[in-house]
Structure 1
Amino acid sequence: LKEGLYDLVDWENLLEEIEDMAQKHLDSCISHLAVILEHMYEWDHFRQWTKAGKEKGGLSWIRSIDRARTEISKLFRRYPSLRNKLPDYLELAWQDAVDELKLWLKDISKESLISQLPSRCPYTYEEAMTRDLRREL
């Protein structure tokens, strides 16, 4: 391409490579969104089980949420089209979050709560991206 030899380019393969790269960036955003949703749900429903208890527990969740939001913001700056796409994947991210919540509940011997996890995401995209849990300490 740099040499202008456009007739030698395998356009179909090039398009596939570009689409794969774009999907990887979107997948990364979805993964970060899932972390946010997982920890927000833990904060809202399971903070009492942290070592520090409900009043001071969950600070590591807040830090994880902050890191995930920062990574999403970086990806948005690099790839602006992701900003419009990510909200459409809230439910997919929630399903990933539920998978992690199930594992965590098993780890803390609270398997009986798995059936109470919502099938639909209990948060809006805006809430996931902007809610300040530090104000709730």
Structure 2
Amino acid sequence: MIKQDLKQLYEKDFILWIEENLRLIKEGNYEEVDWENLLEEIEDMGRRHLESAVSYAAVVLEHLYKLEHFKVDEKTGKGWIKSILNARDELELLFENMPSVKGKVETKIDQAWKVAVKNLIKWFRDNEELAEKFFGKLPSKENFPLECPYSFEDLLSYEPWKHSL
């Protein structure tokens, strides 16, 4: 297979493209490998894992904030706690399998907080009566802290539900 055909295969049949590049590398036929797309895919793999970790972090931050600020009664929050614990389990697994992701997530906690705030705003849109109760209106990002109110350590281990007993 010539290099140009391999580049076209990337767009048409991704799995076959992977198999062909893998075959070429195993055979030592490096000049025929579609390096441009292969390097892009490798870079994208790392980015996806980091984005996934930031997404789990956002879930934890959103639900920690809900527990501390929007709990209306003793029954409220059981689902939030479960969500926090599940997201932390996923983060722990990611950190175990890819230790360097942990340090990168630590530097992206403010990015995770921005996602959490967007999710909080969406949640209030779906719960207008709570928006009215807590804000007197539908909240916007200005109604939440600009900087993440939680530390990286809080993200990983803070359990406000144990402090309120």
Unaligned runs of 5+ in 2: 1-24
Instruction: Give the equivalent residue in structure 1 for 2:91.
Output: 72
Q: How does 1:110-125 map to 2 (within 5 A)?
A: 110=131, 112=137, 114=139, 115-125=142-152
Q: Percent identical across equivalent pairs? A: 45
Between the aligned partners of 1:128 and 1:113, the Cα distance in structure 2 is 26
What secondary structure, in the 3-state scheme, does the structure 1 residue paired with 2:86 have? helix
**Paired letter, 2:150:** Y
Tell which structure's C-alpha radius of gyration is larger: 2
Instruction: Give the equivalent residue in structure 1 for 2:71.
Output: 47
Between the aligned partners of 2:98 and 2:158, the Cα distance in structure 1 is 23
Shift of 1:113: 6.1
Unaligned runs of 5+ in 1: none
**Deviations 1:31-68, CA, capped at 9 Å, x for gaps:** 100000000000000011xxxx1x34211111100110
Between the aligned partners of 1:23 and 1:134, the Cα distance in structure 2 is 33
Shift of 1:116: 2.2
- Residues matched between the structures, number: 132
Instruction: Give the equivalent residue in structure 1 for 2:50.
Output: 26
Higher relative contact order (CA 8 A, sep 6+): 1
Between the aligned partners of 1:57 and 1:34, the Cα distance in structure 2 is 20
The answer to whether the aligner puts 1:81 opposite 2:100 as a matched pair is yes
Between the aligned partners of 1:4 and 1:134, the Cα distance in structure 2 is 57
The two structures have a TM-score, normalised by structure 1, of 0.87
Check the 8 A contact 2:68/2:160 in 1, yes or no. Answer: no
Between the aligned partners of 2:71 and 2:143, the Cα distance in structure 1 is 16
What secondary structure, in the 3-state scheme, does the structure 2 residue paired with 1:119 have? coil
Between the aligned partners of 1:76 and 1:18, the Cα distance in structure 2 is 19
Between the aligned partners of 2:48 and 2:79, the Cα distance in structure 1 is 27
Shift of 1:72: 1.0
